[in-house]
Amino acid sequence: MGVRSISDRRLSLTKGAGALALALFCVLAIALMQRAGWLDGLNVGLMERAGAARDAAVGHSITIVMRLASAIGGTAGRIVLVLLVAGPLLWAGLRRSALWLLLVVIGGTLLNLALKQIFAAPRPDLLPHLDVVHTYSFPSGHSAGNMIFFGALAMLAGRRSGYWAASAMIALIGVSRVWLGVHWPSDVTAGWIEGLGWLALCGVWLPARRGQK
């Protein structure tokens, strides 16, 4: 039984590492296509539509929602959310779940920062920025970070409703970055893919899979 368990864990680790490698390959492919201009039509077209919607009658109200979503999904917002979740987990005696969540979020953040430095992509300047940004654009830190955070919460909950709620938040925050003019759609897509790959690897050590209820 022990040998079987070790074999299963190695297989899961291999699959998780393979998923992360595939995700990073896709991120690289998107970066190369973006630099070659192959995604200009899609990126510019979608951002121009966002700009037109911003100037529409309801644009101001939508912008308020988008600003709020972006603030919640920012680094400071995620830190607060992680602490708000980790606290009750520790209080309930679920130390491994709290530790897993913290390590997943921290590791994913460091991965995104490293990728940003590697690609060093400038921010889009097609629309006026409605958010203050100081880092590189690709891949989107908001998209990757919230895919990781809300995805990890859904994995810990293990319920379909949790996955639906996480998907809604991830999509809203990602779209908000395009609406605010600080990311190309391809930046957001790459961030989502990066986050999924990281979750696939970290899922190998998901506490619920090790017998913790």
pLDDT along the chain (213 residues), means of 10: 63 92 98 96 96 93 96 93 94 93 96 97 95 94 97 94 96 97 98 98 80 43
Q: Are 190 and 31 in contact (CB under 8 A)?
A: yes
User: Tokens at residue 101, please?
Assistant: 């969540």
pTM equals 0.93
The count of other CB atoms within 10 Å of the CB of residue 48 is: 12
pLDDT of residue 71: 95
| Nearest to 124, CA basis, from 171, 184, 38, 175 | 184
| Nearest to 100, CA basis, from 85, 120, 121, 115 | 85
pLDDT of residue 192: 98
pLDDT of residue 30: 98
What residues contact residue 7 under an 8 Å CB cut-off, 6+ apart? none
pLDDT of residue 11: 84
Burial 74-91 (b: 16+ CB within 10 A, else e): beebbeebbeebbeebee
The count of other CB atoms within 10 Å of the CB of residue 211 is: 7
pLDDT of residue 4: 55
pLDDT of residue 5: 63
